Each structure stands twice: as structure tokens, then as C-alpha cells.
Structure 1
């Protein structure tokens, strides 16, 4: 994303400030993905325990 912001050449504002929302969005995506994977793992473990019983 930094490469894309640099290619804009400051058309939408300071390059350094435009990178901040990109970093925030990336961190938010990592957090949401971790919750989603945890949900999938719990669902998978519960379905495997039902199949085993």
C-alpha cells in the first residue's frame, strides 16, 4: 500500500499521513481474521466431536 500511496505523488495529501489509515486497516484486518479463524476452529472441533460420538 505504501508503494501505491507514493505513486499518487501527494495528490490526496501528505504521503506520510495517507499511510496511517492503511496501517490501521491492516491491523484491523489481522484482528478480525484472528477472531474468524478462532470461530472456525471451535466450530470444526465441535463438529469433529459430534462425529466421533
Structure 2
């Protein structure tokens, strides 16, 4: 995303400020993905426990 913002050459504002929402969105994506993977792992473990019983 930084490469794309740099190619804009300040057309939409300062490059440094335009990168902040990109970083925030990336952090939000990482947090969401960690919750999603945790959910999938718990679901998979419960599914395996039912198969073994």
C-alpha cells in the first residue's frame, strides 16, 4: 500500500498521513484473522472430539 500511496505524489494529501489508515486497516485485519483462526481451531477440535467418541 505504501508503494501505491507514493505513486499518488500527494494528490490526496500528505503521503505520511495517507499511510496511517492503511496501517490501521492492516492491524484490524490481523486482529480479525486471529479471532477467526481461533474460532476455526476450537470448532475443529470439538469436531475431532465427537468423531473419536
Could you state the TM-score of these two structures normalised by the residue count of structure 1?
Answer: 0.99
TM-score normalised over the length of structure 2: 0.99
Q: 1:12-34: CA deviations, max 9, x gaps?
A: 10000000000000000000000
The equivalent residue for 1:43 is 43
Number of residue pairs matched by the alignment: 53
User: Which 4+ runs in 1 deviate beyond 3 A?
Assistant: none
Cα offsets for 1:1-53 (capped at 9, x unmatched): 10000000101100000000000000000000000000000000000000000
Aligned-partner Cα distance in 2 for 1:33–1:22: 16
**Which blocks of at least 5 consecutive residues in structure 1 are unaligned?**
none
Q: In the aligned structure 2, how far is the partner of 1:8 from the partner of 1:41? A: 41
Pairwise CA RMSD of aligned residues? 0.3
